[in-house]
Structure 1
Amino acid sequence: MERLHVETLRHIFALSCCDGGLTGRALSLVSKAFQAAARPVRYHSIALVGLERIECFLRCYQGDRAVCERQGLRCSPTVRHLFLRPDATDANGVDDAAHGATAQETLCDVLRLVGPTLVTLLYTGEVRWEDILAESRCEFPKLEELTFSRRDSFELYPPSGRPPYLRPPCDFPVLRELHVVFVRSRYPVEDVLGRWAEAAPSVSHVRLSGLRSADMPTRWVIKMSWQSREKRPYPSVRQVVIQPHERPPQTRCGHARGDYDAMVLMLRKRLSKIPKDISGVLLSGDIWGRTFWEDWIQGVHGGPSGVPKADVQR
């Protein structure tokens, strides 16, 4: 393969570096020639799990960009697909991420560095996604698919009451798929998506996962059922995918499972009333399906991502 032109090698390497960084790292260790050819494309897709690996990535990425600048290369390393999870445990089960200022600053550094070139992004972690966006002030002009988990703190509200959910400080002009996982949210779907509709007006597919109450999405789904698309809270949306949390185990009293079944019944009823120009999908909570990683890697390879494309299921 070393007889091939560098441009041909880079094209082959770019098609190969779609597994979160493993292939890119292996190619850079084959030989100096392969290392030089793979340098601009080895970061095509990157999976960063744990604060230690994120910091290591920052050093390597900045170092490779500096090498390309010194050599006067027009092709600079870029990241197109990013899986970002700062929370991870080492071999002893100890969390290596400090859920505070250090972790948040590091995550902001990553987004400032790679945000302008990202096409897909999946973030899950204890540091609030909204706080990262507010501090980084990064732009995402090419981002098409976004998955993030909502994790609010358990702090008590101030005497003035719960602060409003703020609009993301940056715009997402070409975002078309939005997946929000409600792990621990103090805000209903209506508040969250109302603000995201302002920042990402081109979203066509929305997925809401981890819902623990039918009240969370009910008001939003009712408003999305209005016949006039212009009056809906998210006019551009053409598919809504809702997935409740995992079904609780059977107990003697059975109240938890009964409440869960009632919630699923309510969600199915609401989705059955949405207009025909919106596809409504209710996913089972018993099996969450693929993991975050599998969702993301499928999307990188051009397959179905975290927002499944499906016909109306009512």
Structure 2
Amino acid sequence: MRLLLTVLACVLLVGCDLGDDRDLCCYRGGMTYRLTYDGYDYFPDRVEHLRCFLFSGDDGRFLRELPTVPGRPERVDLSGLEEGDYGLIAVGNLDDYGEVEGFEESVRSLRFGACDFFRETRALAHGDQLYWGAKRFRMKTGCANEFVTELSNVHCHLKVMVEWEGLPPGSGSYYLQLSGVHEGYDLFPGNARPLGERIFPAYTGELRSSVEESNLLNMALRAEFVTLRYTDEEIPSIRVWYGASAQTELIDLKPVFRQWGWYPDSTPVQEYELHLLIYRDGSVELSPSLDVGVNDWTDGGTFE
């Protein structure tokens, strides 16, 4: 009998590794975050850290902020939760671009506001590459309590290259200005817009400008804007400055996006390229690629 009990104890210890969180007979629950496109999980490549806000499932009351598992930024341990309904909302890669506010009130008040401004202006500076995900779930006694949340890409990349038909006006600092970018998100999932299997947050606040500084490299300017997402109806305008001197008029990009078939509302990942060629007479030709140059301009550009 003693031998039998000893063997049984050994089998149980071997069959349930307390150090392996994949073994569901011992692990009491967790949330795993993914960023899946075209069958590939981009989370390890794109998301560095998460902030995760836990709410009660019945009245949306804020409970606490949950840390991710050390060494596993895609994983949140839920083993300490009691049986019941919950909501968990995550914001990825938030550094210094803005703040998450309102969570102390309730999940309905949860919002993000950009507050990182370009120097002493009211224009926004370079943004964070933000991701967002929300999940309602129920913890049940005796169940695995394993859940997965797909993150949504809630930022926009716009790469810009500027060239001149002749020589640029001079050396020194140039500024590229986007006018009409969103400053905030409503992070309450009930107000979100679905797109495929993902949801995207509604907007809050006002439309602002975003400014990037650039210097000449091989007689051209190169800059990249990272802002909140565009919409089909709210696409920014762009202008190029040399010091305090405007090099272009304010160019409305909405008709350009439509001409090129770019519809932000139906695009899960917003990544765009824009090439501006400034002619001697001040007119500007735009192309949807950075690969063209002054001497090999391809058909398909549009004049402004």
Band of TM-score, shorter chain: under 0.3
Q: Work out which structure has the larger RCO, using CA pairs closer than 8 Å and 6 or more positions apart in sequence.
A: 2
**Larger proportion of helix:** 1
Q: TM-score, with normalisation over the residues of structure 1? A: 0.23
More strand by share: 2
